[in-house]
């Protein structure tokens, strides 16, 4: 929780975990925007209204999905509802219109009517997904959408702002006195599925809804797009939510450069016969990745055994061979 000084008012804004912050999330992963407020004016009804705003740049893979909201008293400041939770009203309103880049989406969560007579610290939480759900239905009574399918955010990018200046994001609250706070822009940093563990291995951290296919396969290619090899990452029955993290060794790593090192890799959805349905994500190993790996090797070198140094020396040799062909 990022806290700020409470204004000189009976109803107070305590802080958020998102105003001016960078939030990291995997493609299709979930994150929460939390606002903490307090009502402490006895006998006076309190209200709140939290508005968040974002744009989709006319791309399904740069949109967000609101999953659900919850509001609860949190007098022990642990950001949890507790064993016997006291829930507050959380009416939601979702709207859209023309934006600077694509459609601008506005989501509100609030209480209605005359307000709430109770006092105490409370959390307003908005659970979101880094992705767009195209095949959804609306729960008009609760103001949220739900359903299967959709497109995870592309990655890695830092240009996914929420509550950019001038868009209309706000925190309204009060009891006898209405007050307002404008949150600073929140940057959503979407992490790639792929990460280079070493020249012979990639790490995959996947969170996605797979609509079609029965297998996710990691395919390795040379820089000239010549196929090298592939490994099975996941197998099951779609539609399914796939949440899995695993290191995937290059199947031909013993051969070294050029056939056994990671140059290009793609996460591909296929049917049970191996026919490609969709390329979910891909990566190309750049010189910056190789340089970072060289830096890691320099650190590792002093803390490993002579036998382990033999493997690192082989990797160093292959990095030098691959360097001239790696894109900058």
User: Residues 75, 120: contact at Cβ < 8 Å?
Assistant: yes
**Average pLDDT in the 139-154 region?**
52
Q: 240-278, pLDDT tens digit by residue?
A: 888 899 999 999 999 999 999 999 999 999 999 999 998
Q: Which pairs count as long-range contacts for 147-151, CB under 8 Å and 24+ apart, including other chains? A: 148/209, 148/211, 148/239, 149/209, 149/211, 149/239, 150/28, 150/60, 150/65, 150/209, 151/60, 151/61, 151/63
Separation of alpha carbons 262 and 223, rounded Å: 9
pTM: 0.73
Cα 227 to its chain centre, rounded Å, is: 31
Reported as a single tens digit per residue, the pLDDT across 122-131 is: 999 999 988 8
Position 191 scores a pLDDT of 84
DSSP class of 53: E
Lowest mean pLDDT among 23-32, 34-43, 82-91: 23-32
Residue 142 confidence (pLDDT) above 80? no
If phi > 0 it is left, if psi is from -120 to 50 it is alpha, else beta; for residue 257 that is beta
Instruction: Please check whether the domain covering 2-191 is classified as CATH 3.40.50.
Output: no
Task: Give the domain ranges of the chain.
Answer: 2-191, 194-325
DSSP letters of 166-182? TS--EEEEESSSEEEE-
């Amino acid at each position: 929780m990022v806290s700020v000084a409470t204004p000189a008012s009976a109803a107070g804004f305590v802080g958020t975990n998102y105003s001016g912050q960078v939030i990291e999330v995997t493609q299709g992963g979930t994150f929460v925007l939390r606002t903490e407020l307090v009502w402490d004016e006895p006998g006076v009804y309190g209200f709140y209204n939290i508005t968040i705003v974002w744009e989709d740049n006319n791309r399904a893979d740069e949109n967000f999905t609101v999953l659900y909201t919850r509001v609860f008293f949190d007098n022990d400041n642990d950001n949890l509802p507790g064993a016997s939770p006291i829930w507050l009203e959380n009416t939601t309103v979702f709207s859209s219109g023309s934006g600077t880049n694509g459609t601008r989406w506005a989501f509100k969560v609030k209480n209605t009517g005359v307000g709430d007579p109770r006092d105490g610290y409370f959390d307003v939480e908005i659970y979101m997904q880094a992705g767009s759900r195209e095949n959804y239905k609306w729960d008009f009574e609760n103001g949220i959408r739900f359903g299967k399918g959709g497109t995870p955010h592309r990655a890695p990018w830092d240009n996914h702002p929420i509550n950019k200046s001038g868009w209309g994001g706000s925190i309204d609250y009060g009891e006898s006195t209405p007050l307002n706070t404008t949150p600073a822009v929140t940057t959503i940093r979407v992490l790639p599925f792929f990460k280079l563990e070493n020249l012979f291995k990639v790490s995959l951290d996947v969170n996605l809804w797979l609509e079609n296919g029965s297998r996710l396969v990691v395919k390795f290619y040379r820089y000239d797009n010549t196929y090298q090899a592939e490994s099975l990452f996941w197998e099951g029955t779609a539609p399914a939510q796939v949440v899995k993290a695993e290191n995937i060794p290059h199947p031909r790593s013993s051969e070294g450069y050029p056939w056994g090192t990671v140059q290009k890799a793609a996460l591909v959805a296929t049917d049970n016969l191996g026919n490609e349905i969709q390329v979910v994500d891909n990566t190309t190993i750049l010189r910056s990745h190789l340089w970072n790996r060289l830096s890691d090797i320099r650190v590792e070198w002093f803390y490993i055994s002579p036998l382990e140094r033999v493997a690192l020396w082989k990797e160093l040799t292959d990095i030098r061979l691959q360097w001239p062909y790696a894109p900058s």
